[in-house]
Structure 1
Amino acid sequence: MAFITKEKFLSNEWISAYLYLIIGSIIFAVSDILFVVPYKLAPGGVYGIATVLNTMFSWKISYCTFAMEIPLVILGTIILGPRFGIKTIVSISIILFTVWIMETYISPGYAKVIADPMLNTIVAGVFYGISIGFIFKSRATSGGSDIIAMILAKYTKLSLGKLVMIVDGIIVLFTLVQPSETGAIGWEFAIYSLIIIYIEGKIIDMVVSGANYHKTVMIVSDQYESISSKIKNDLMRGATIFTGTGAYSGEEKKMVYSVMSRRELEILKLHIREVDPNAFVNVTEANEILGEGFKSLKEE
């Protein structure tokens, strides 16, 4: 999982990558100060730990993060090698500087912009997801828990995705040391933080891979010719016909495979219901589709 990329300087790809990086980093910093810190939330990462330290000891978010982020980058480079690239350093620097500006001059009191905690949590998750999605699209990482997870991945058999979840989950537990307004254990901080992480993950997927409007459909039917003709001529989509053998009956069967939008799928289902109501239809989410008629491989 390397984040070093070699876009040609000042090329369209280079400009696009750095625009994503700069915008994403600024949105992350603004979201943290406006929507996360005022409610004492810690949705993973070094900024989550910094929020807890700010709540407990009134230390500045930027100072706490700097004290953790820079050693992590150095340690990660020593253990993993130069895997992060200049863009990750740029992202970390922009976020740190923007957070310092905001908490010093713009929002020193960490006032709550949105009064309702749940609405604030939803907004925070959305903006966090957009910001990190933009950073990922630039082929960079915001550092923090990503670096910790990559170091742990080198010495364990767990996947990087699972390790990121474990690290962020442990960071969320730090919110329990913060007393709530009633003086009890602040379970609400942890719950809201977990909601942010969930929403953030969904938004990241949408930003990086696009909104999931397409479905993969596999149809086993004796009327495969009629179904494939409907897909090709009316829906203007491609289809592939496979030949297989039914494990139970031992009979040779034809299966039609295609990818289409939700709307097109509903039209196709009506047609299948008419020509073969006993057809076997399997529909799954198409998380990313590359190729003719969809996203070009050249964009990757």
Structure 2
Amino acid sequence: MKTCGKNKQRYNCIEWRNHEARRVKEYILITLATIPYAIGIALFLDPNDLAPGGLTGISILVNRLTGIDTGSLFFILNIPILLLGMWKFGGKFILSTLYALALITFFTNVLQQYEPITHDRLMAAVAGSCLVALGMGVVLRCHATTGGMDIIVKLLRRKYPYIRTGSLFFMLDTFVVMFAGLVFRDPEAMVYAAISTTITTTALDKVLYGHDGARLIYIISGKEEAITESLLYSLQAGVTVLHGEGAYTQQKKKILMCVVDKKRAVKIEEIVKETDRNAFLIITSANEIYGEGYKNLFQEKI
């Protein structure tokens, strides 16, 4: 019993160390991610009167009306939303968000003292949006947020998990972009801000969910054993055998199912063609995959 107790204590100690190591890694990544985020705002979007949406865009608009630093406004406007986040997500979540928020405020205010990298609005919209999306995506992957609309979107994701994060941002940001057009009285700025918002939300989804790199494949063939052997030993692809039945013929059939990357999907297509030209092959995109070798089934949706 004592040995069991010691083993349990040792296991808990290892788990605690692993958890702390993950938290340290996350804070390092958050620190690095806030730099491109601040560069995107201070050196691209803000100096070109591009309000990209969200609380960042609102801060830029209020800056034009009041003259208060954009970074400081971003922090002030976040306070009521942070209180809402603390109520819904707890203290640990808010601690990492406050850390990210403080760094963004600091870096943005420091970088605004320098000349903007470009005055070309199209280039500013593209580069600034990609940098903001990169920073925001990494922070979200570290189970924190950059404050503002991120927290609102995280709350909405709980209620509507089938809507992607980027799509929710786009819906909320549209209102900010329209308001920006009224404040700046510049249709051109509104168009570029809309471009910026579209790029940000698209790039954000790529950072969070990755590219559509997986393929779900179904194979129905009279030579399933030969195909299975090629998939298992030539491609090292996992294969699941499903048992089906033809609705018209009522003939029993084995259906091969596997999930692979794009590169191996092409090779599987070649193997099937070479083995059985009469095979029935279905290749479709796999949006999200959970389980061994893929995403953790119990991990919170970002």
Q: TM-score interval w.r.t. the shorter chain?
A: 0.7 to 0.9
Letter in 1 for 2:24: I
Verify: 1:202 aligned to 2:176, yes or no: no
Choose which of 161, 169, 173 in structure 1 pairs with 2:178.
173
Aligned-residue offset at 1:268:
1.5
Secondary structure in 1 matching 2:218 = strand
Q: Which runs of 5+ in 1 are unaligned?
A: 1-5
1:220-231 to structure 2, matched below 5 A, reads 220-231=220-231
Choose which of 137, 141, 151 in structure 2 pairs with 1:147.
151
Q: 1:73 to 1:296 in 2, by over 3 A?
A: closer
Match of 2:55 in 1: 46
Match of 2:26 in 1: 17
Aligned-residue offset at 1:179:
3.9
Aligned-residue offset at 1:178:
4.1
Secondary structure in 2 matching 1:134 = helix
Deviations 1:265-286 (A, max 9, x none): 2122112123333433222334
Letter in 2 for 1:133: G
Q: 1:287 to 1:20 in 2, by over 3 A?
A: farther
Letter in 1 for 2:146: S
Letter in 2 for 1:222: G
Deviations 1:75-130 (A, max 9, x none): 4434x262633111111111111112222x334xxx3x235433333322322222
Q: Structure 2 CA distance, aligned partners of 1:81 and 1:235?
A: 44
1:36-75 to structure 2, matched below 5 A, reads 36-75=45-84
Q: 1:45 to 1:241 in 2, by over 3 A?
A: same
Same amino acid, percent of matched pairs: 24
Match of 1:192 in 2: 195
Match of 1:101 in 2: 110
Equivalent pairs, count: 280
Q: TM-score, normalised by structure 1?
A: 0.79
Match of 1:123 in 2: 127
Q: TM-score, normalised by structure 2?
A: 0.78
Measured on the aligned residues, the alpha-carbon RMSD in Å equals: 3.2
Task: Identify the structure with the greater helix proportion.
Answer: 2
Match of 2:264 in 1: 264
Verify: 1:135 aligned to 2:139, yes or no: yes
Aligned-residue offset at 1:64:
1.8
- Between 1:215-224 and 1:279-288, the stretch displaced more is 279-288
Checking the alignment, whether the CA contact within 8 Å between 1:239 and 1:256 is kept in structure 2 is yes
